[in-house]
Each structure stands twice: as C-alpha cells, then as structure tokens.
Structure 1
C-alpha cells in the first residue's frame, strides 16, 4: 500500500465515524457497525477444509454478497477505500481462526499484462492488513507469473489445472519454512496448488492457502462455480 492509500485509510477511520455499508455508527477502530458485521457471510471453521492434496486452507468469507459484490467492485472500479475495508475484514476473519502464524505471505501474482491493465494486484492489496498485523513480510517479487493464462471461468477442472501449469517462476531464493499463499477467491484451488507445488519443490516445509473468500461447499469435495480472477 503506497503513502496515498495509507493516508486515505487513516483519514477515513479518523474522520468518518459511519459504517462502510450503512449510515449507522461503526464499531471503534473497525469499518463496520455491529449489525453489518454480524450479517457478513463469515466462513464457518468446518467449511475451511483442506484443498485437494491436503493443503491447509483458511478463508474469511463464503463467496456470497456483499463480499462477492465488493470483490467485483474492486476489480472493475478500482475503489481504494473498498480495498482497504475488505482487507481489514479479511484480516478479522483470518485471525479469528488462526492457530499458527506463517513466516511470510505470498500474494498470488498477476501476469504483467493483466497487472498493467488493472493497475493493481487485488490479492496483494487485500493481504497488506494481514501482513502488517502479523508483522511478517509480503513476498511481492519472489515469484512472477510468466505465463499468460486463459480466464479460469471458461474452463472445467482438468482444463484449469493444465491452464495454470508452469505459470509461475521463482525470482529469488526463499529461506522461509512456513509460507501462506494469499488469493482473493478460492474456487477449485488450481492456482493455489500450482503455487504450493513450486514452494514445496523449493524446500518450504509448510504451505498454507489463505483467501478473502471461498466458494461454498455444495457437497463433499465439490465447489459451487464462482468467478475466478486468474
């Protein structure tokens, strides 16, 4: 988060006493009022099941309104205030279930062409409050996305895995033993698994996958189709 974003977040907290979702008084040092906080689709602990391959997974929300609406607004509207708000809410949901802190957070990187078009990496921006509160680094440049992939929503599960295969490249050695990959939304988990495989191949002993939102489980091992930004 650059200086302008930090300043905006600080001013919005100090000068705006109202909930980010409604006109009610917000909770102290928190962007929402009590009622809006309670109405959010917080993901239940039993829904944070490991991804296929037994990768630990932790998400703050089910991918449902208003969280899904906020993510779309961030993607298309580039609303800095909404990024900051959703980042804080994500940190609240993750911390409520966190038992072991990683040594670093790796936001899922965007391909440079997509990054230039969008202007920012939403996974990176949403992960900033988590890294700040845990006092651990964000690995923003350690891995790049070297392969420009097709939108995952156009593909079935097996096609998604092939689409994302070998999409990432290590740019600098990693000396950590426990890293959390962070994405905005987890659907099938193909992107996260590909990144996790790369990290494990580099000798990382524990890899977790965190996200703002996750597609709600419809049946055991089955995810409802949702938007995948990568």
Structure 2
C-alpha cells in the first residue's frame, strides 16, 4: 500500500497525461480531447432516480413509489472505459484517478445542477472496509467535486452502523434487506439541502436509505450525485 501511495503522489507534480491512451493531457487534466469525447456520458433519464429513458422525465416507478431523495445526477453510464477507471481507483488504489473523475464530475454537474446544495456528504464505508482498502473512494471523488463547485463537504457526515455484505450481484430487494438500519448521521443537517455522493448507483437502494436517514435527521432536501449509473437489476 505504501508503494501505491508513493506512485500516486508522484502524479501530482508530473505533466498531465491521459489516463486512457497515455498521450499528453489537455486543459490541465489527465485526459486528452479525443478520449474525453469517447467517454460514456449519461444520456436522457429519469430526473429522480436516473433510470435510462428515451427523453428526460420521471419514470413510472418513481411516479408510483418515489425514493426519499428528490433528484439524482449521474455523469456517466457504467460502461468502459469509466468502469475500468472506477475499478482501478477502488481496487488498485490509483487515487489520482479520483482527481480526473472528480474534476469531470464537477464540470458536468456545474452545467446541470439547478440549485447547489448546502452540504456534500460522501456515501460512507464501514470502518472495517476502510481498513481493508485504506480509503473511501466516495470521499476521494468528493474532494474534487466539492472544490470544483465550491460546496462544503462533510467527509464523515454519515456513518455505517454495521458492516454489510457487498451489494454487487444482488437484486434491488436483496440490496434493501442488506442495508436495513445500516446508516446514521453525524452532522447537524436540520433544514439543510444535502447532496449524497457515490461512485456508482445501480438500484438506488443505498441512496434511498441514506436519504431516509438524513430526512429523519431534519434535512429538507436530498439529491444524489454519482460518477456512473449502472443498469438496474430487477
């Protein structure tokens, strides 16, 4: 892990280099213009949950059973090469990838979010998972999103009350069961507009339950910002 942190540290003073093709980065970022154009930018979708639609609107599921959060923004589809970049960040500790993805998120959100929140809160990991991984990828992304948008980030605004099994591969119903009573709030969010930030959203179960927890703590509005939106499992 120490070697990985040293490798990541070296990237902060080296010239920008495209993370995808190795060419010189453009506009001070670690990506070139041609590769940026090839990224799987998110298309039309449900303004509430982010489900893919043929045009912007509210999907039938959210009309009949809306989540606790009022709005969600996904910057990318969970497809290559973004899926690879997120994997490298989470499982190979390539923390400089968080800078690239976080900066791209901030630029996209700046053009789309109508009203910025008062607080940005990363989706928390359990302490056991942080010890294993060494960091919370949502916090690392959040640093650059918060900086780019000028929004205050509370890195420990929410907490995991218990360790949960990985969500990968679970249905929406199984994900919700897995997360029952899993979250708490550390901060005073009464009357605040909050944005939850995560790397990937699939069914929205994590965001929904966290939003419920924040609403019980007094938050008046919750939106969700994610780097990538994956296809929903039934």
* TM-score of the superposed pair, with normalisation by structure 1: 0.84
Match of 2:96 in 1: 81
5 Å-filtered alignment, 1:1-230, equals: 8=10, 10-12=12-14, 16-44=15-43, 46-47=44-45, 49-51=47-49, 52=62, 53-54=66-67, 55-216=70-231, 223=232
**Runs (5+) with no aligned partner, structure 1:** 217-222, 226-230
Counterpart-to-counterpart distance in 2, 1:65 and 1:224 = 19
Q: Deviations over 1:150-172 (max 9, x none)?
A: 11124322121111111011223
Give the whole-Å Cα distance in 2 for the aligned partners of 1:170 and 1:143.
4
Give per-residue Cα distances to partners, 1:139-187, cap 9 Å, x unaligned.
1222210111111124322121111111011223224521000010000
Is the 2:16–2:28 contact (alpha carbons within 8 Å) kept by the matching residues of 1? Answer: no
Q: Which runs of at least 4 in structure 1 moved beyond 3 Å after TM superposition?
A: 4-10
Residues 170 and 5 of structure 1: CA distance in aligned 2, closer, same or farther (over 3 Å) = farther
| Mapped contact 2:156–2:186 kept (Cα < 8 A) | yes
CA RMSD of the aligned region, Å? 2.2
Q: How far apart are the structure 2 equivalents of 1:73 and 1:133?
A: 22
The range that moved more, 165-174 or 21-30, is 21-30
Aligned residues: 212
Note if contact 2:183-2:210 (Cα within 8 Å) is conserved in structure 1.
Answer: yes
Counterparts of 2:7 and 2:120, CA distance in 1 = 20
> Do the aligned residues in 2 keep the contact of 1:123 with 1:182 (CA within 8 Å)?
yes
SS of 2:107's partner is helix
TM-score (norm 2): 0.82
Q: Deviations along 1:109-143, whole A, 9 cap, x unmatched? A: 00000111010000110111111122222112222
Shift of 1:88: 1.6
Partner deviation per Cα, 1:33-87 (whole Å, 9 max, x = no partner): 111110000112x225312425301011000000001111111110122222222
C-alpha separation between the residues in 2 aligned to 1:162 and 1:85? 34
